Structure 1
């Protein structure tokens, strides 16, 4: 792809105008201040992909304020989803430690050594990161040569946790771990996107994010959530179904109630300017599905 000329903020605003984007709810001076101090052009304008164009390739019913509103909502959505994945991570680590502690064939050390032998690169990377951690370096000095499962779980990233869960399930076929094993890899996608602050509310229900063959466990849970099959084939919806399912399966009802209240506040934020998106089917469909996912936690 050829390089593009870097434009000034004023030039970028003129480009948006040429694409049919209006400045009725936020004037150009406010927009320039926003782009200069609060959010950058590439990320902010990514939300335009949720809006239709006319035959002249100009956006229909899209004001710059809509983009800033969606960016703010998206930040809150990512924060909410990240909290869910942190809850899930903690719950799975607790489950695995408890399961191994109650397994008479395990001593808490040999299982870590087996994982190290099977996945040496991932294991060594985990220890390298621990060695670099200025707050947990004492754990490295004490346990790096003889690592117990309770310490390994503490220092494992979400990705390594997902890998270990698969490894442990394949060894013991633990019934309670079967559904966790089936959904965790999809939950990891949500965790990574939110942790890296990737825009989430873009390319909603796009052919670019189409899953040809959703897994049977996700299809089954999605139907129980009353989500139409046609939407389960969307990558984001597929991963969200697994995330909300795991949270309900793993975490306590008390924590779930707290997350439901937070979810309701998030939905209220979505609807603050609902008249702006009243004719946007993609955004309204996503809000409807998110409401079902949040209700599933209760």
Structure 2
């Protein structure tokens, strides 16, 4: 049983990592669209964000963690030319986003939300923070299915995600139980953002992979006959994926 669950965990982790990368890509596109709609010139918003992260040190010098992160790209073959092109950090937003890690992008989303008092964008920030946690876990090969029991989460799942789960047919009792587990919260949030924001082709492709992992979960389901937590969690994943990644064939 443990060997089977470890294999499922590994394969699910690979798919979810790709899902989180898709989410980052489409979140950047959506933020660029929003900035364009607001009439931003693409340069001043980056300058303001960088300035907001200046910190005065005890010796009087000024440090900036975002600029430090960008400077690390000087040694990377994929980013060195782009970093060198803007020695004064006067990046346009569309190139700035190519240089910052996911976590810093999320902070940028929060900054833009604050500038425009944009409640929807602020809610996006919180959901993206949840996705970031899942991405880090998958990227570091942490087990994600070794604790699926109910608990006491440090935060509540967003209303939009919970409402979408209700629409998928989950009872309030099930939602209360499953959303009390932060791992299931994060996976649900990632799948919600992915199926609602990625392109149709990307959603269809990931849907094929997610339906495969559901079949893999049920290949040896008799192993878990006496493990209600695993069985109910597999059922939860299946219902979510069936609702949000339906097959048109």
Using structure 2 for the length normalisation, give the TM-score.
0.84
2:132 counterpart of 1:185: no
Which stretch shifts more, 234-243 or 216-225?
Answer: 216-225
2:69 pairs with 93, 114, 126, which one?
126
Change (3 A) 1:278 1:216: same
8 Å CA contact retained: 1:219, 1:229: no
Q: CA deviation at 1:176?
A: 5.4
Structure 2: distance between partners of 1:254 and 1:297: 14
Give the stretch that moved more between structures: 173-182 or 254-263: 173-182
Runs of 4+ in 1 over 4 A off after TM superposition: none
Secondary structure of 2:219's counterpart equals coil
**2:210 matches 1:263:** yes
Which residue of 177, 187, 190 corresponds with 1:230?
A: 177
Provide the C-alpha distance between the structure 1 equivalents of 2:29 and 2:142, rounded to a whole number of angstroms.
Answer: 28
**Once the 2 structures are TM-superposed, how far is the Cα of residue 219 of structure 1 from its aligned partner?**
3.6
The match for 2:57 is none
Greater shift in the superposed pair: 146-155 or 126-135? 126-135
Cα contact 2:157–2:179 (8 A) shared by 1:
no
CA shift, 1:178, in A, is 4.6
Determine which of 135, 153, 176 is the counterpart of 1:211: 153
Root-mean-square deviation (Å) = 2.0
Determine the structure 2 residue equivalent to 1:173. 117
| Correspondence list, 1:17-28, <5 A | none
Aligned counterparts of 2:218 and 2:134: Cα–Cα separation in 1? 23
Cα displacement string for residues 188-217 of structure 1 (whole angstroms, at most 9, x for unaligned residues): 11111001111111122154xx21651452
Shift of 1:238: 1.3
* 1:251 Cα deviation after fit: 0.9
Q: Which moved more, 1:126-135 or 1:276-285?
A: 126-135
- 1:284 & 1:122 partners in 2: Cα distance? 44
The match for 1:288 is 235
Residues in 1 aligned to 2:199 and 2:183: alpha-carbon distance in whole angstroms? 25
Query: Does the alignment pair 1:83 with 2:18?
Result: yes
Out of 71, 74, 84, the residue aligned to residue 9 of structure 2 is 74
Offset of residue 224 of structure 1 = 3.1
Looking at structure 2, the residues matched to 183 and 100 of structure 1 have their Cα atoms a distance apart, in angstroms, of 19
Structure 2 equivalent of residue 274 of structure 1: 221
Partner of 1:111: 45
Please give the TM-score of this superposition, normalised by the length of structure 1.
Answer: 0.71
Which residue of the other structure, out of 90, 95, 100, is the alignment partner of 2:30?
95
1:195-210 aligned at under 5 Å gives the runs: 195-205=139-149, 207=151, 210=152
Unpaired segments ≥5 residues, structure 2: 55-63
Q: Once the two structures are superposed, what CA deviation does each residue of 1:138-191 show, in whole Å capped at 9, x if it has no partner?
A: 011102411110111111211111111111111113465354224111111111
TM-superposed CA distance for 1:85, in Å, is 0.5
Q: Hey, what's the Cα distance between the residues in 1 that align with 2:158 and 2:141? A: 29
In 2, the alpha carbon distance for the partners of 1:133 and 1:155 equals 11
Alpha-carbon offset, residue 81 of structure 1: 0.5
Q: 1:231 to 1:119 in 2, by over 3 A?
A: same
Which residue of the partner structure matches residue 82 of structure 2?
139
Question: 2:17, 2:139 within 8 Å by CA — same for their partners in 1?
Answer: yes
- Segments of 5+ residues of structure 1 without an aligned counterpart are 1-65
